[in-house]
Amino acid sequence: MTRVDHRHRHLARIAEVKAGTSSEKVPYPIHIRKAEVVRTRRLSSALMRVTLGGPDLAGFEAHSPDEHVKLIFPDPDGTLRLPEPNGNMLRWPRPSPTTREYTVRHYDPIANEIDLDFVLHDGGLASEWARTVEAGEIMYVAGPPGGLIVPDNYDRYLLAGDITALPAIARWLETLPRTAAGWALIEVADSSEEIPLSVPEDVEVRWLHRGDCPPGTSDVLERAVRSLSWPQDERVFVWLAGEAGVLKPLRRWVRDELRLDRCDYDITGYWKRGVADFDDHEHAHDRH
């Protein structure tokens, strides 16, 4: 029997979706890769960039601004338990090892490097790792499992979220056509958390300062999103991410008031107040 190689079928599907009219979540073959910390850099008072590199990152899949990888941390006793390749998937050990998901901020296929941006906060496992890790240390990276592919032919784009969504929003803004129009609304504590962005001329960026409110407790993002002058005769794609509770009323707004088609929006809770390693895939949400 002749074995057909379907490994690159996802690349054809990505191209089809990109050239079409509707967004679609496209899965990629999932790999486990050994990476080495190349360097770290403080981006703002709240963001730390860790650059991972090494030959194992050759052929890394990077196609979508919202794609993520899992970083695999040792067990409390120091044991590192890794998933094993299983066709185009991974077979994970039981119980599951300790992992944290992070957006792929940038992939450099020439240098075989990926950038991951970490929000610094007290007590976070990955945050503390990013704050203290040194060049040469090893980290195992699983994924990405896929990404949301969005055509470039929408009239406008609305990208909104808190600082945990900033790496994805920054990548969105870099990869959108320079002719794209729309809004990027980003909630931060204050100006010390802002970073430079590469923005299409007709995309308006608004930094929303929540001040002394703890993360995940302010309605500044919801009020800013609702205050937009919504175009009646234009097709808009909406992408929202951040604290799950903050996004709840915005889910209803998109679904019940804007009445957007399911392929025209994507809303994901990246974290939830009081819940470590929150997984929005285990809860009701509006993700493809």
Tens digits of residue pLDDT in 108-164: 999 999 999 999 988 889 999 999 999 999 999 999 999 999 999 999 999 999 999
CA distance 221 to 52: 32
181-188 and 202-209 beta bridge pairing = parallel
pLDDT in tens, 59-97: 999 999 999 999 999 999 999 999 999 988 999 999 999
Q: What is the mean pLDDT of residues 161-182?
A: 97
Q: Rounded to the nearest 5 degrees, what angle is found at the Cα of 242, between the Cα atoms of 240 and 247? A: 65
Q: Which fold has domain 10-147?
A: Elongation Factor Tu (Ef-tu); domain 3 (2.40.30)
CA distance 98 to 273: 19
Cite the residue boundaries of each domain of the chain with CATH code 3.40.50.80: 152-286
pLDDT in tens, 185-219: 999 999 999 999 999 999 999 999 999 999 999 99
Cite the residue boundaries of each domain of the chain with CATH code 2.40.30.10: 10-147
Residue 44 has pLDDT above 60, yes or no: yes
Query: What per-residue confidence (pLDDT) applies to 114?
Result: 98
Q: What is the mean pLDDT of residues 171-184?
A: 97
Q: What is the DSSP string of 171-219?
A: HHHHHS-TT-EEEEEEEESSGGG-------TEEEEEEEE-TTSPTT---
Residue 11 has pLDDT above 50, yes or no: yes
- The reply to whether CATH 2.60.40.1120 applies to domain 152-286 is no
Closest CA to 89 of 30, 49, 27: 30
Query: What per-residue confidence (pLDDT) applies to 244?
Result: 94
The proportion of the chain whose per-residue pLDDT surpasses 90, expressed as a percent, equals 87
CA distance 246 to 161: 9
Does residue 179 contact residue 202 with C-beta atoms inside 8 Å? yes
Question: Mean pLDDT, the chain, as a whole number?
Answer: 91
